[in-house]
Amino acid sequence: MWRASVLTIFPDIFPGPLGASLAGRALASGAWTLDVVDIRGFATDKHRTVDDTPAGGGPGMVMKPNVLGRAIDATATERRPRLLLSPRGTPLTQTRVEALAREAGLVLVCGRFEGIDERVIAARDLEEVSIGDYVLSGGEIAAMVLIDACVRLLPGVMGAAASSAEESFTEGLLEYPHYTRPQSWEGRTIPEVLLSGDHGKIAAWRRAEAERLTRERRPDLWAAFLRRFRAGSQTG
C-alpha cells in the first residue's frame, strides 16, 4: 500500500481536501495511507520551540535542525523518497509524479518560517521539490498538491477516464475542449463534428484542438512538443 508520511507543525490541517472526493475515497478504501507527524512533538523545551533566529541575522525564523532531525528519525523513512517542499526545489512535473506514484510512498517534510536549517537537508538526504514559481507560506498545501497528484495515479483509484487526459499531458499537449448536453446553451452550440458519429474525424478534430490550444497558451510546451516530434520522426 502506498504510504504518505507528512512531517508538519500543523498536523490538524491533514487530510484536509485529501479526505474528500477521489483521494478521500481511495484513502477510506485502503488504496493509500496517510500518517501525520507533529514536528513539535520532538521539541524538548517547555515551550516546544521548533524555530530560532537566522545565523548571520536577517528577517524571519529558521526551523531548528535538531528538532526536525529527531522527527525524521522517528519516521520509518526507508525505501521511500524523502522530499522537502521548498520554493527553491526542482519544479515538479507530471513525469516525476508518475515516478513517485510507483514508489512505496513518500516522506514529505513541510517547512514553515523562512526555511529550515541547511544541515538537516544534507544530513537526512532531503530532496527539495517545488510545486511552482510562486511563494506559499509553508509546505503543507504543496504537500497536499503532490499527494493528490500521486494518489489519482495509484492502481484502481481512477477509472479509464484518467487515461486520455494523462496521455495528452504526458505527450506534451494540453487537453482538447469538452462538451455535453444541452446541444445548444445560451446560443452556443456543440461543434458539429462531435455529433457526426465519425470517430476518426472526432479524433482528428480533438488532436488539432489540443495542438492549437498548446500553441496559443503554452509556447514552452509547444516548442518542446515540436522538438520531440522532429527527433522522433528521424529515429522512427
Identify which of residues 43 and 85 has a Cβ nearer to ligand JFB in the complex.
Answer: 85
- Contact residues for ligand JFB, defined by CB under 6 A: 85-87, 89, 111-112, 114-115, 130-132, 134-139, 142
Identify which of residues 121 and 210 has a Cβ nearer to ligand JFB in the complex.
Answer: 121
Q: How far is the CB of 131 from ligand JFB (least distance, A)?
A: 4
Quickly count: other Cβ atoms within 10 Å of residue 130's Cβ: 18
Longest dimension (CA), the chain: 72
Q: How far is the CB of 167 from ligand JFB (least distance, A)?
A: 26
Backbone angles phi, psi at 95, to 5 degrees: -60, -45
For the record, the C-alpha cell of 113 comes out as: 518560517
Q: Which residues face 51 on adjacent strands? A: 63
Q: How far is the CB of 227 from ligand JFB (least distance, A)?
A: 26
Quickly count: other Cβ atoms within 10 Å of residue 44's Cβ: 9
Q: How far is the CB of 79 from ligand JFB (least distance, A)?
A: 23
CB crowding 104-114: b at 16 or more within 10 Å, else e: ebbbbbbbbbe
Identify which of residues 19 and 132 has a Cβ nearer to ligand JFB in the complex.
Answer: 132
Q: How far is the CB of 32 from ligand JFB (least distance, A)?
A: 20
Q: How far is the CB of 133 from ligand JFB (least distance, A)?
A: 7
Residue of 18, 169, 145 whose CA lies nearest to 95: 169
Identify which of residues 7 and 173 has a Cβ nearer to ligand JFB in the complex.
Answer: 7
Identify which of residues 144 and 174 has a Cβ nearer to ligand JFB in the complex.
Answer: 144
Is-contact 84 128, C-beta < 8 A?
A: yes
Identify which of residues 101 and 210 has a Cβ nearer to ligand JFB in the complex.
Answer: 101
For the record, the C-alpha cell of 203 comes out as: 479524433
> Which residue in this structure is represented by grid cell 523518497?
81
Is-contact 222 214, C-beta < 8 A?
A: yes
